[in-house]
Structure 1
């Protein structure tokens, strides 16, 4: 059974006349008759019965008509949705990013893009996650674009640097280090470290800092998001190295400058190479690239 047969069945059910239905469908009457007969054979039930010069739905035909109408309606809605998503001047962007850029960078870049009247009909769906999860879902087409850390050996993904984040150290307000303006990795090594999980791009950066310093960190707890880390630091359970984030102002912690040559983290825009990007996504991608060049 194919889509044309469903349209043939629906049209015949509405007009109740083979000749009129064939004319409306722009096919021959024998073609219509053969199509309906094939449907009835496949379903194992008669869908129409004669009534004078007309045909009307049987009991089975009426049942089937309910599902055919629903199916065709859903297909039409799907077609309209796809046309809306890829239309020039409109469309949709599926965007995902690390939690650390969700407070300022992402809202600012979306707002800047939508400030252009030509983009006012473009909508966004936004998601958060760690770099490993973001890449996994990007490659499975759940997202169009992501903001993440660089990951090596991802030959099918393009990484474009777009934003640099500073690293800071947060400590409880009554901590011995709280009186300092800046700290080194040697200053913080005696204290329990609240850290990102191993799936996070930031974890690789922090691990590398300790390797370069030839220090073994005392990791107490691991979290995916900076808010949970800041909450535990505020509870006087340790210290943390995080990306500088406005949300930490909501916690009773002291932010210290991190005195290290590697106190920056680059954020990348990533997308799958050689995959079709709808016009809205392509336009947003180019906006980000141009914005990065200008800054």
Structure 2
């Protein structure tokens, strides 16, 4: 038994298709078949069984897969650590993030991380919405994402890192702009209420809040604060229910008001990563750093 056989076995177990596995391993299909056959012969157990044009793990293969992944992850982590000690750290971290922290929190976080760990790590930052970001994390496009909480994901670790304030925004000419405070009861009289779609994490939170207080959104259509702000800016009679983020900064004619029944930490943002997946030393350092990072708003 050798390392190549274990790597080949892991790839075939993940893809369950000889041709695809061989292509990703840059070897021929006969070479892969021969390697797996020798591994099964050496172990004395069948690892795969045919399932039409694909293969699937046997009960013995499933058990062997768990130990193989654990062993290879430990080995790869050791290699990465050795390279880092030798002065050659693995060079990049792929991060997915919601838009609302990309202009303040995330830049400060990365700057502080580099101050502690040096400038050699490259950060590849991609923007998206919570649900697609979580799906891409599960598909290994990212190593870490910053999103809202998504339930029923036991294989992911969600660590709260900051919270965002929910406010009402309105045009300066709106009659509610002159009030000293604003309650959800006041919003019952609003001609138009614009907010997030209820099928998004933040939209679900807002929808539940409004429903509890007998308020109905007339336009639940905006996935981000820029779109939401632009809609309210173009409709002086409208009230927007939105997170207070940098997305509202361009709108000089809009003002925001705290909603009296809503706590400042209405919407938590989480750092999310795959719990048991292999992580380079740089990624592990980053995750530990995020946990301890204290960010001061404003």
TM-score normalized with structure 2 length: 0.65
Deviates more, 1:261-270 or 1:105-114: 261-270
How many residue pairs match? The answer is: 214
Question: Quick one: structure 1 residues 280 and 181, their matched pair in 2 at CA, closer, same or farther if it must change by over 3 Å?
Answer: farther
Deviation at 1:181, TM superposition (A): 3.6
> C-alpha offsets along residues 24-63 of structure 1, whole Å, 9 cap, x if unaligned?
xxxxxxxxxxxxxxxxxxxxxxxxxxxxxxxxxxxxxxxx
Query: Equivalent residues in 2 for 1:126-145 (5 A)?
Result: 126-145=125-144
**Structure 1 counterpart SS, 2:216:** coil
1:260 maps onto 2:268 in alignment: no
1:178 maps onto 2:187 in alignment: no
1:234 maps onto 2:236 in alignment: no
Match of residue 285, structure 1, among 281, 284, 287: 287
Query: Are the aligned partners of 1:87 and 1:279 in contact in 2 as well (CA < 8 Å)?
Result: no
Query: Equivalent residues in 2 for 1:77-226 (5 A)?
Result: 88=84, 89-116=89-116, 118-191=117-190, 192-213=192-213, 215-226=214-225
**Structure 1 counterpart SS, 2:173:** coil
> C-alpha offsets along residues 145-201 of structure 1, whole Å, 9 cap, x if unaligned?
111111211111111111011111111121111112431111123322222233432
CA RMSD of aligned residues (A): 2.9
**Structure 2 counterpart SS, 1:115:** helix
**Structure 1 counterpart SS, 2:189:** coil
Deviation at 1:207, TM superposition (A): 1.0
Query: Are the aligned partners of 2:90 and 2:280 in contact in 1 as well (CA < 8 Å)?
Result: no
The separation in 1 between residues aligned to 2:242 and 2:83, in whole angstroms, is 41
- Superposed structure 1 runs of 4+ greater than 4 Å apart: 83-87, 292-295
Structure 1 unaligned blocks of 5 or more: 1-82
Deviation at 1:267, TM superposition (A): 0.9
Deviation at 1:119, TM superposition (A): 2.7
Query: Are the aligned partners of 1:91 and 1:123 in contact in 2 as well (CA < 8 Å)?
Result: yes
The separation in 2 between residues aligned to 1:182 and 1:256, in whole angstroms, is 7
**Structure 2 counterpart SS, 1:160:** strand
**Structure 1 counterpart SS, 2:165:** strand
Structure 2 unaligned blocks of 5 or more: 1-78
